[in-house]
Chains A and B, each alone.
Chain A
């Protein structure tokens, strides 16, 4: 256990710091922005697409199962990223202050 912690201390630091940062960042958000913020966060966890790209790019050219699953993952991940950012932008467009 101790050894494991020692080996992965870098990760453990990152995770702990990120948790506090995530909480700190949105600590005082007005309720009006809850939905766009949710949508924006939804787009950000689209980073999972990077994993999909790596899976896809590492698959052997004759491993059809990996290719097909990876291809699906790339499509779904892209929908998450692109759709997420576009929808958030559309929502926020509505908040424009009138000149």
Chain B
């Protein structure tokens, strides 16, 4: 009876995941969708703990350990998620994703030990099929798959997390892609050996696969530039989905299977959509190291030269006498946590009869939607946010564009310089406006590590300083005008 109720619970949970994901892709219902999926997850977890029976009809035991683990995990997870700054969201997602990958890999390790221990009892009595009380080749294959995918996802996510918060630098060497491919081939060869030589030496082969898969995860993400990290995280996210689905095969568990495959498929599509938003192909992201490489260095040599500075009071004056000002927010705004004071500036200007809008590049900041989230947090009204296409039409009739710590998304090299690593990415065409004011902390290049000609154009004036303090000064000046 209990097991039938559990089947029903799993069915419900699967449906909540599907509905939840569906609602998450629509701004109006997204939050409810997330809650629905969370509710489904909760009943699936509780149902598993209390109602699960294995093939012999034994219930689970070790309840102390299970609840202990859940308690510890829930506390850590909640605190981490609550404490994290909005600017560090992508790192956090990457870290959580790594946890899921590690979880899948650990399950594979434990199950492998089960298989290994049982060899002594049923020497060579191999059955065939997924769900046998003893094991089969398919079962072992799924264990290996879960191990490989989970480990790659875990190691890769940790590297992505380190890169985004600046702990890990880009690192690539000549022939790295070939080297990575080689490791992947070796992993496949060793896995095949495991089956060929079964049951001799399987322990050593299995753990070699683990080590190599971890290494592959590290090397896979290391050369990829920071600006492409959201895409990579999304890709690793779908990997973890597939690793979770492997667990579904192992335990004949439909909810793990459906949830895992669903995320695997949706995650892969999302990865492709993100690439599209940046006008890059997935292949380029994975193979063309983005930023900090020789290619970028060549692009940089062309520019350099003189740039103009503008004082805060001049900038305030110019903006207050404009008809239309468009603000381009970027990572600099996010880092300085300047979204509230930015909203204040917008209100001050509006009082003076200036029309103020925000131009949001799809990948401004460190992830798609990053700026929308930040500005929404500061109560900026939704109608003032313009997507790239609309904004590009509006710049022609704009008096002042104020760029707050955005760099690569307004770099004209994306349109003009085929040698540039960001060539082909659609940009905000701020040069169409009458005047461009750029706020940056220094002349250092942005995330893609390339120079920006825009700063040296005659129309452009630089306004150096931390975004928050500069905006505060601007607001102060406007009050005095």
On A, residues with C-beta under 8 Å from B are 4, 7-8, 11, 14-15, 18-23, 25-59, 61, 65-67, 69-98
CB distance from B97 to the nearest CB of A (A): 5
Beta-carbon contact of B260 and A48 below 8 Å: yes
B93 at the interface (CB under 8 A from A): yes
Chain A's closest residue to B38 (CB) is: A85
Cβ of A4: which chain B residues have Cβ within 8 Å of it?
128, 138
Contact for A81 among B41, B93, B248, B257, CB less than 8 A: B41
CA distance A73 to B104 in the complex (A): 8
7 contacts between A and B (CB under 8 A): A14-B261, A22-B264, A41-B270, A45-B244, A76-B100, A77-B103, A87-B81
CA distance A88 to B36 in the complex (A): 12
B8 at the interface (CB under 8 A from A): no
B446 at the interface (CB under 8 A from A): no
CB distance from B62 to the nearest CB of A (A): 6
Cβ of A27: which chain B residues have Cβ within 8 Å of it?
269
CB distance from A77 to the nearest CB of B (A): 4
**Which 9 A-B residue pairings sit nearest by Cβ, starting from the closest?**
A78-B73, A57-B60, A22-B265, A74-B69, A83-B77, A51-B247, A82-B77, A86-B81, A34-B368
- Identify which of B109-117, B163-171, B310-318 touches chain A: B109-117
CB distance from A72 to the nearest CB of B (A): 6
B243 at the interface (CB under 8 A from A): yes
Beta-carbon contact of B266 and A54 below 8 Å: no
Beta-carbon contact of B110 and A80 below 8 Å: no
Cβ of A90: which chain B residues have Cβ within 8 Å of it?
81-82
What total count of A-B pairs have CB within 8 Å? 381
Residue among A15, A50, A57, A93 having the largest count of chain B Cβ atoms under 10 Å: A50
CB distance from A26 to the nearest CB of B (A): 5
Known: A11-B130, A57-B61. A83 touches B81 (CB 8 A): yes
Beta-carbon contact of B68 and A71 below 8 Å: yes
Cβ of B110: which chain A residues have Cβ within 8 Å of it?
55, 59, 65-66, 69-70, 73
Cβ of B103: which chain A residues have Cβ within 8 Å of it?
48-49, 51-52, 73, 76-77, 80
Known: A25-B21, A53-B66. A46 touches B41 (CB 8 A): yes
Chain A's closest residue to B117 (CB) is: A63
CA distance A91 to B74 in the complex (A): 19
Beta-carbon contact of B48 and A34 below 8 Å: no
Cβ of A57: which chain B residues have Cβ within 8 Å of it?
49, 52, 59-63, 66
CB distance from B470 to the nearest CB of A (A): 24
Beta-carbon contact of B37 and A44 below 8 Å: yes
The DSSP consensus for interface residues of chain A is helix
CA distance A9 to B56 in the complex (A): 24
Contact for B60 among A20, A53, A76, CB less than 8 A: A53
CB distance from B419 to the nearest CB of A (A): 27
Contact for B379 among A50, A72, A98, CB less than 8 A: A98
Beta-carbon contact of B254 and A80 below 8 Å: no
Known: A49-B103, A70-B106, A76-B73. A22 touches B266 (CB 8 A): yes
Cβ of B22: which chain A residues have Cβ within 8 Å of it?
25-26
Cβ of B467: which chain A residues have Cβ within 8 Å of it?
none
Chain B's closest residue to A93 (CB) is: B31
CA distance A88 to B256 in the complex (A): 20
Beta-carbon contact of B45 and A49 below 8 Å: yes
B80 at the interface (CB under 8 A from A): yes
Beta-carbon contact of A48 and B243 below 8 Å: yes
Beta-carbon contact of A95 and B260 below 8 Å: no
Additional 14 contacts, C-beta under 8 A, given A45-B259, A48-B244 = A18-B265, A19-B265, A35-B373, A44-B41, A47-B255, A55-B107, A59-B110, A67-B65, A83-B81, A83-B92, A87-B96, A92-B30, A94-B374, A95-B30
Cβ of A84: which chain B residues have Cβ within 8 Å of it?
77, 81, 93, 96
CB distance from A60 to the nearest CB of B (A): 9
Cβ of A76: which chain B residues have Cβ within 8 Å of it?
73, 99-100, 102-103, 106
CB distance from B273 to the nearest CB of A (A): 7
Chain A's closest residue to B32 (CB) is: A92
